[in-house]
Structure 1
Amino acid sequence: MPRRPGPRALLARPELGAVVGAVAVFVFFAACADSFLSPAGLSTVLYAASTIGIMAVPVALLMIGGEFDLSTGVMVTSSALVSSMSSYQMTANVWVGVGVSLLVTLAFGLLNGWLLVRTKLPSFIITLGTFLMLTGVNLGATKLISGTVSTKTIADMEGYTSARALFASQLTLGDDLRVRVTILWWLALVALATWVLLRTRAGNWIFAVGGSAEAARAVGVPVARTKIGLYLGVALCAWISGQHLLFMYGVVQSGQGVGNELIYIAAAVIGGCLLTGGYGSAAGAAVGALIFGMTSKGIVYAQWDPSWFKFFLGAMLLLATLLNAWIRRRAEAAR
């Protein structure tokens, strides 16, 4: 009969601090906001968490592998813009634009990973450069092609309805509980990433590369291939998020996404990922995204001034980082 995990094993889990924080945030807003626990309120919270969590999961894996990506926020917008403008300009089925967007977005991820392993420059510098370039391209190309800062609507084009069903549909459970399909995407990505990290050779490579790339290379780990694969994973999830952004509204604003990269990183850090790499979990990043969702919507339901939202997020980031560091020290001392 398998043994249940003891207190020491639980203390060693990277997401423990995030779970404690999530419970505290949930109880706090449940007491302060009347509509927080309503079906509509919970649906809104989960939707907000899922839009962050879809990107927080691959960002967490990248951080476990010892790298950063500051281009994720604008890459999501780039993916949506490519899909929309390709479909509109070619007057083709929307799925053609979706396919073109997938190829282009994966190329962005491949470029980040290739530059990293070839130049040996810090990922902070490389992806900062990609962030700036994509920000300029998003705005400049949209103005050049559409004449404005937003794309033309594709809501009346062939294939839009089926694409919307995959990327932006809504399921109704019971009378009031509405579940966006992004929540299902989010949970599937968490399950897949957790399986990769804990049950596959690639997961061992990710932890090894994040702990020490040189030591990992010395024992035969394909360091370059692992890092490029992580950036491709980030790009794939940016494509999923970008398609949701497009098919949720039918149009895309070219300036969207700036600043979201910090939210994805913060969710991963709150979830237990170390900035130095080699430690963390996909489940922790998911819990970090849930904390963001509860806080952003809880403030609204409590009828507080939303200007304080960033203050609460910053405070949670600091507290979660301190709590995660304390839990890790306790776990190491208990070994």
Structure 2
Amino acid sequence: MGTVTTSDTSFGVVADRNAQSKLRRIIVRPEIGALCALLLVYGVFAVVAGKASFVSFNGTAAWLNVAAELGIIGLAVGLLMIAGELDLSIGAVVGSSSIILSIGTGIYDLNVWLMLALTIATALLIGLINGLLVVRTSIPSFIVTLATNFAVAGSALGLARLLTNTVSSSMVSDPAVDALFAARWGQANVSIIWWVVATILSVWLLNRTRFGNWIFATGGNLSAARGAGVPTSLVKVVLFMGTSLAASLVGIMQTVEFHSGNATNGQGYVFQAPIVAVIGGVLLTGGYGSVLGFAFGAMLYGVISVGIFYSGWNTDWVQLFLGALVLLAVTANTYVRKLALSVR
């Protein structure tokens, strides 16, 4: 019979500790909570609404379409929240982009590509103003962007009524623009591809570039980041411009898809995008989060929104689900953050 030596026992203990350490590091990743919630909720609706075609191609495309548009904005808002700031002007940017594009092409018969450039430039300007106001005045971004949301939304509504006597307008497009922003395959919209590309680029930006390190540093400890030479003001301004760009892209896609713009579009994103980021693992205090978490959060929102419809339940229950998820996510994320710090 063989005997167990001290070295064998020590090796076994070390191996067990290493396995536990690896498992713990996986568990404390920011996106794990959102992924588990997504799998659980999807499984429930797959059983409850499976016979109603929820798991079919069209059913899957339906919730992916919802997740894609929200996910594009949620990615940008999530990155900004990692840096310790929040942008509530995204709703107004969606609406203003929609009405600018539609009025320019539908009322004044301007070239659609020119209007696309003007629409995006306007959104970037709004983001630039938000960023500069935050970094130069030290006013909380919640207040700055809330004020911007009202100002931009009011300007869009006022100008729309002044120029067209209505808050909506038809858009004139061309086949190339339609293919780029409104192509469809069955029920699946091209916005899904935009979202996947944006997610891949965001993963690379946050985890593989110096700018990504600056984002974490800015949100983790602003004073220490400045002391280490991180251009925190530049980081924040760029990220504010990024949220406006993402919101403008969604506004453009909605306008091109329906060949119609509306100045009131997008207000739902004001709170939906931060909800996606929080469910996806970001901390409200900044310095912690995951791009994959934001993507899972958007998917979870899409599954709940469409799953309730396919199940035949009252869609008012969506708000209850989301409220409970946000509360659980904030609690869990705070605990996971503490656990992650202990692992390091």
Please say if 1:48 is aligned against 2:66. Answer: yes
- Contact 2:25–2:343 (Cα < 8 Å) also in 1: no
- Contact 2:58–2:188 (Cα < 8 Å) also in 1: no
Please say if 1:239 is aligned against 2:257. Answer: no
**TM-score for the superposition, normalised by structure 1:** 0.93
Considering only CA atoms, is the larger Rg found in Structure 1 or Structure 2? Answer: 2
Tell me how far apart the structure 1 counterparts of residues 154 and 60 of structure 2 sit (CA, whole Å): 37
Tell me how far apart the structure 1 counterparts of residues 195 and 146 of structure 2 sit (CA, whole Å): 26
- Contact 1:87–1:96 (Cα < 8 Å) also in 2: no
Tell me how far apart the structure 2 counterparts of residues 79 and 254 of structure 1 sit (CA, whole Å): 8
Q: Which of 45, 62, 69 does residue 29 from structure 1 map onto?
A: 45
**1:95: Cα distance to partner?**
1.2
Three-state SS of the structure 2 residue aligned to 1:323 is: helix
Quote the residue 1:320 is aligned against: 329
Cα deviation code 1:131-162 (max 9, x no counterpart): 110121121111111111211x12xx3x4321
Give the root-mean-square deviation of aligned CA atoms. 1.6
**1:322: Cα distance to partner?**
2.2
Q: Which of 156, 161, 186 does residue 143 from structure 1 map onto?
A: 161
Tell me how far apart the structure 2 counterparts of residues 329 and 204 of structure 1 sit (CA, whole Å): 20
How many residue pairs get aligned? The number is 324
State the AA in 2 paired with 1:19. Answer: L
Three-state SS of the structure 1 residue aligned to 2:286 is: coil
**1:324: Cα distance to partner?**
2.5
Tell me how far apart the structure 2 counterparts of residues 197 and 241 of structure 1 sit (CA, whole Å): 22
Listed as ranges, the matches of 1:57-136 within 5 Å are 57-136=75-154
Quote the residue 1:264 is aligned against: 273
Three-state SS of the structure 2 residue aligned to 1:252 is: strand
Tell me how far apart the structure 2 counterparts of residues 280 and 90 of structure 1 sit (CA, whole Å): 44
Quote the residue 1:205 is aligned against: 214
Three-state SS of the structure 1 residue aligned to 2:316 is: helix
- Contact 1:270–1:321 (Cα < 8 Å) also in 2: yes
Tell me how far apart the structure 1 counterparts of residues 302 and 295 of structure 2 sit (CA, whole Å): 11
State the AA in 1 paired with 2:177. Answer: A
- Contact 2:95–2:153 (Cα < 8 Å) also in 1: no
Quote the residue 2:26 is aligned against: 10
Cα deviation code 1:70-108 (max 9, x no counterpart): 111121111111111122343122111111101111101
Tell me how far apart the structure 2 counterparts of residues 224 and 328 of structure 1 sit (CA, whole Å): 25
* Paired-residue identity, %: 40
**1:208: Cα distance to partner?**
0.4
State the AA in 2 paired with 1:39. Answer: F
